[in-house]
Amino acid sequence: MIELQHVKKSFGSLEVLKDISISIQKGEIYGIIGQSGAGKSTLLRCINGLETYQEGTITVDGVLVDTKDAKGLRNLQKDMGMIFQNFNLLERLNVYENVALPMKFWGIKTNTPEAKEKINHLLDLVGLSDKKNARPSELSGGQKQRVAIARALVLDPKILLCDEATSALDPAITREILSLLQNINETMGITILVVTHQMEVVKQICQRVSFLKDGKVLAEGKPEDLFIHPIKEVKAFLQEESEMLPETGVNIQLFFTDKSSDPVITMMARELNIDFSICWGKLEDFRSNVYGSLVINVSEKDKEAVLNYLYQENVAWEVLE
């Protein structure tokens, strides 16, 4: 659906995107995560043709994104709905008129029965049927973003691009908007690309995610794989502290990335007849699946026996230095 091959983008002498290659499948919810300045929003703007790129190729549904082909780019952009952080609603228009705005831009009549039915259906989909005559100033932040989502869907796009769409919302409203996006993906089959710096966003809805830093993709895969067993750059992004670990003995981090409910820790203690300390642990919710990691501290003399046992039980582990 969306293919990026060796994409490079610079602003003058500043290289913002450095050899980016990503493949996003049709019907997928894909996340791009990283700190501010990582190049996330620039990458998104290159995908929808709002920015040019100097090297590489970007294709959407088999069509090359080429800013030099104005007509072809315009037709391609019609297939890509866009949701922004700051909603971008027009205060002089009511909710219904804001949703209908893209239709007007494309010369589609908004007063026909078909157009009215579509807009009313979208307002019902986002839960705002009773607000269609309200002005944006009368809405909460979550309601404004729901209007923006309905507006992004009014032209029947194949792809929904979300640029920090929940950054201005509180945690409870964020969960509601993410559930709405998940429902849209499941019921309408729309491919969704989410750009965010919020870990909770990708954990809740993304099937795969890329981690960007300084314009490079440093890691890609399922969110649970990236966040439960992170590389050092992702660990720094998550701000995990290792100073809390004991300075004596051996610290071993265990990773649980499946639905296994076997009591590995208690079984190990009984079978090996050893003592150890549990330093810290965490559970993470990934699309309603709970995964986690645990750090234990064992004596140096028990290290080899513990690691052999974990290997036999197919438990992923890492010795923390």
How high is the mean pLDDT of the chain?
90
Residue 257 has what pLDDT? 67
Residue 243 has what pLDDT? 53
Report field, pTM of the whole predicted structure over 0.75: yes
* pLDDT class of 256 with cuts at 50, 70, 90: confident
* pLDDT class of 51 with cuts at 50, 70, 90: very high
User: 3.80.10.10, 3.40.50.300, 3.40.50.620, 3.30.70.260: which CATH number matches 2-235?
Assistant: 3.40.50.300
* pLDDT class of 215 with cuts at 50, 70, 90: very high
Residue 282 has what pLDDT? 79
196 has pLDDT over 70: yes
In the numeric block, which tokens belong to residue 72? 């072809």
pLDDT (average), residues 47-68: 93
The DSSP annotation for 226-286 comes to HHHS--HHHHHHHT---TTS-SSSEEEEEEE-S-----HHHHHHHHHT---EEEEEEEEEE
pLDDT (average), residues 29-50: 93
* pLDDT class of 76 with cuts at 50, 70, 90: very high
Dihedral sign (CA 110, 114, 119, 120): positive
- The one-letter amino acid code at 29 reads I
Residue 36 has what pLDDT? 86
* pLDDT class of 262 with cuts at 50, 70, 90: low
d(CA 14, CA 70): 26
164 has pLDDT over 70: yes
pLDDT (average), residues 286-301: 85
The class (CATH top level) of 241-320 is alpha beta
Residue 258 has what pLDDT? 60
Least confident range from 185-189, 194-198, 216-220, 242-246: namely 242-246
d(CA 62, CA 47): 13
* pLDDT class of 240 with cuts at 50, 70, 90: low
Residue 280 has what pLDDT? 85
Domain boundaries, the chain: 2-235, 241-320
241 has pLDDT over 70: no
57 has pLDDT over 60: yes
Helix axes 95-105, 141-153, angle to 10 degrees: 30
Distances (CA, A) of 295 to 142, 163, 316, 317: 38, 35, 12, 9
